[in-house]
């Protein structure tokens, strides 16, 4: 291999030749393996290290052949394919159990989900990191069933049931895992959602709202009754916003109760209930019980149906502050959704304090983002010709961002506080007029465009939102 080469590219099969701990400890990258030897890339500085090859052969118990390359190529490949997160590789779980290895690796590199799935000729494991799925491992199909059964046993599920979906939970000391198992054509697919218990980082000031948005939101949650609804697709940060709000409202003089599916963070001083639909503990039944618990604030994980919506409205009318999420595409769409659920317009107008829509966007890495010219044809039609859009910043990739070009995410918001004017418009069910009335509201597309113009994120990230403008 030419040491001047731009980067090392590995397939999933190559990545699996050695583990992340070994790769980071010796700073080596696997190239290929046969029955007799394994070929590894190593840093040029190790060429004169007599003990280096011996130690490697001792750990791998195999003949080693080394190809020496520039250290920067090794560093880049380690950051791309063998992330170890904030913890060092030496803290990696020592268990030989593949399931434990998966969970601890996902936790270290801050993956939100682990996807384990099987197809006709192969099975694979993917991690969701910053909202995107990345393939990490291939699994022999003959070993797949054993892995699934281990997951079922750990999450107290029925290993003999292979025809129906199952949901379970695995508890660790500092985090939990929600397990969802779905029967597919070639076998059962598993998705494991990692849920952190530490709520210390939840803060309204850290959610990404600007000063004006934060003031609007704080005013809405200061009210002692009414409904606060947050909308957006799965993974848009709605639950994080709700938890930060509860933490802000939580004090000794307030009785707060929640019903969630699942409980993602445990908050001291708040009474949290886990949804259990199989035994009849639904959002609606829990809400009925809550009203007999003398609550001040009620949080419902989600308004899914007309019955839950009606109960939430009733709770807000009887002097409770209700917080919940709902699946719509915009803040105004929440009002339409409630009407579609059969909630009378006058009740929506009387009880809704604020409607919020939010999304999460990946932020470009500040260490390596690159300024390039922006071509008109790359933009949505309605933005072409905007002379303020002559350049853009694009993802490049460096060690700081694991060569993804992105580091972290930020939330964007669209807020409609229900003023007396908007309330009257809602009562008349004139949502077309409401749309024009809230045109001055900072929309999701407006905020996304500003982030793009300021070089915070890329066109790739904001394009789907701009198209919906």
pLDDT in tens, 227-273: 999 999 988 999 899 999 999 999 999 999 999 888 888 888 999 99
pLDDT value at 193 more than 60: yes
- Bond from prior residue into 262 cis (ω within 30 degrees of 0): yes
pLDDT value at 94 more than 50: no
CATH of 12-81, one of 3.20.20.70, 2.30.30.40, 3.30.70.2190, 3.30.300.160: 3.30.300.160
Fold identical between 12-81 and 211-467? no
The listed range with the strongest mean pLDDT (10-24, 81-95, 213-227, 276-290) is 213-227
CATH superfamily of 211-467: P-loop containing nucleotide triphosphate hydrolases (3.40.50.300)
Rounded-to-integer distance, Cα 189 and Cα 125, Å: 10
What is the residue extent of each domain of the chain? 12-81, 98-196, 211-467
DSSP code for 276: B
Element spanning 360, H or E: strand 352-364
Rounded-to-integer distance, Cα 144 and Cα 147, Å: 5
φ and ψ at residue 126, rounded to 5 degrees? -125, 145
Higher pLDDT pick, 413 / 20:
413
Give the pLDDT band (50/70/90) at residue 1.
low
This prediction's pTM: 0.78
Average the pLDDT over 109-116 and give the result. 92
Average predicted confidence (pLDDT) for the chain: 88
Rounded-to-integer distance, Cα 262 and Cα 177, Å: 10
- Strand, coil or helix: 179: strand
Candidates 63, 412, 55; CA nearest to 238 is 412
* CATH architecture observed for domain 98-196: 2-Layer Sandwich (3.30)
Q: Which of 41-55, 210-224, 288-302, 311-325 has the lowest mean pLDDT?
A: 41-55
Rounded-to-integer distance, Cα 130 and Cα 171, Å: 23
């Amino acid at each position: 291999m030419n040491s001047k080469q731009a980067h090392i590219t590995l397939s999933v099969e190559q990545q699996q030749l050695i583990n992340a701990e070994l790769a980071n400890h010796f700073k080596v990258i696997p190239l290929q393996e046969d029955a007799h030897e394994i070929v590894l890339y190593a840093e040029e500085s190790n060429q004169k290290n007599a003990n280096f090859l011996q130690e490697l052969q001792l750990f791998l118990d195999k003949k080693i052949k080394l190809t020496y390359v520039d250290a920067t190529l090794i560093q880049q490949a380690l950051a791309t394919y063998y992330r170890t997160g904030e913890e060092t590789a030496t803290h990696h779980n020592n268990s030989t159990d593949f399931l434990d290895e998966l969970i601890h690796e996902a936790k270290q590199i801050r993956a939100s989900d682990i996807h384990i799935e099987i197809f006709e000729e192969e099975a694979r494991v993917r991690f969701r990191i910053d909202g995107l799925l990345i393939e990490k491992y291939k699994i022999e199909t003959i070993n797949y069933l054993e892995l699934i059964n281990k997951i079922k046993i750990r999450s107290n599920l029925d290993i003999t049931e292979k025809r129906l979906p199952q949901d379970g939970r695995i508890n660790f000391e500092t985090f939990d895992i929600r397990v969802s198992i779905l029967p597919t054509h070639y076998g059962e697919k598993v998705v494991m959602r990692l849920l952190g218990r530490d709520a210390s980082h939840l803060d309204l000031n850290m959610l990404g709202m600007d000063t004006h948005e934060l003031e609007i939101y704080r005013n809405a949650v200061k009210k002692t009754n009414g409904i606060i609804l947050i909308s957006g697709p799965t993974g848009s940060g709605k639950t994080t916003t709700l938890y930060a709000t509860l933490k802000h409202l939580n004090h000794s003089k307030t009785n707060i109760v929640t019903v969630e599916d699942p409980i993602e963070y445990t908050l001291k001083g708040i009474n949290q209930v886990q949804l259990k639909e199989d035994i009849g503990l639904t959002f609606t039944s829990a809400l009925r019980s809550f009203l007999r618990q003398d609550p001040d604030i009620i949080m419902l994980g989600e308004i899914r149906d007309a019955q839950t919506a009606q109960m939430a409205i009733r709770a807000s009318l009887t002097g409770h502050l209700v917080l919940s999420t709902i699946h719509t595409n915009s803040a105004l769409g929440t009002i339409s959704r409630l009407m579609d659920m059969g909630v009378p317009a006058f009740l929506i107008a009387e009880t809704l304090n604020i409607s919020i829509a939010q999304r999460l966007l990946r932020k470009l890495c500040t260490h390596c983002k690159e300024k390039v010219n922006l071509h008109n044809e790359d933009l949505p039609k309605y933005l072409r010709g905007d002379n303020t859009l002559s350049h853009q910043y694009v993802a490049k990739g460096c060690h700081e961002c694991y060569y993804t070009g992105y580091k972290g995410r930020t939330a964007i918001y669209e807020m409609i506080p229900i003023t007396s004017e908007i309330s009257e418009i809602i009562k008349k069910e004139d949502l077309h007029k409401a749309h024009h009335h809230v045109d001055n509201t900072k929309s999701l597309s407006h905020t996304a465009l500003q982030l793009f113009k300021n070089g915070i994120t890329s066109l790739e990230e904001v394009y789907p939102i701009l198209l919906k403008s």
